[in-house]
């Protein structure tokens, strides 16, 4: 049953993508590349293709919800929790002390030339 829903979901994704590309926008759309067949397929006005796109998008959302509910009990993660790693307190002062490197310049620094 789930495999049939996945096939329908994929098919509707492809259909919605194609129909969206066939729609004529402000710049003409990809539908003109195919001789304007996009809007004539669904009627003279753009209302037919817009309604079809809306219906297909609605079916896509419903299928996504159904598949999600079917898979709600499944998980790919294990439920076992590893032992917690001890974390040091960030307010504690560090225990190791570091010293500054020794000054090897002779105390005079660089001489001007």
Rounded Cα–Cα distance for residues 110 and 103 (Å): 12
Rounded Cα–Cα distance for residues 49 and 41 (Å): 8
Average pLDDT, the chain: 74
Centre a 10 Å sphere on the Cβ of residue 7 and count the other Cβ atoms it contains: 10
| 92: three-class secondary structure by DSSP | coil
- Domain locations in the chain as residue ranges: 36-73
What's the pLDDT score for residue 86? 72
Worst-scoring range by mean pLDDT, 1-5, 19-23, 103-107?
Answer: 103-107
Q: Whole-prediction pTM value? A: 0.48
What's the pLDDT score for residue 70? 86
Q: 19-23 contacts: CB < 8 A, separation 24 or more?
A: 19/49, 19/52, 19/53, 19/56, 20/53, 22/49, 23/49, 23/50, 23/53
The phi and psi torsions of 8 (rounded to 5 degrees) equal -60, -40
């Amino acid at each position: 049953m789930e495999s049939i829903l996945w096939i329908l979901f994929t098919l509707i994704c492809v259909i919605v993508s194609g129909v969206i590309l066939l729609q004529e926008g402000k710049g003409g759309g990809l539908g003109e590349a195919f001789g304007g067949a996009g809007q004539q397929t669904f009627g003279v006005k753009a209302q037919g293709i817009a309604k079809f796109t809306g219906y297909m998008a609605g079916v896509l959302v419903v299928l996504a919800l159904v598949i999600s509910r079917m898979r709600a009990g499944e998980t790919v993660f294990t439920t076992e929790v590893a032992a917690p790693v001890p974390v040091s307190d960030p307010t504690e002062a560090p225990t190791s002390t570091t010293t500054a490197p020794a000054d090897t310049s002779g105390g005079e620094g660089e001489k001007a030339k």
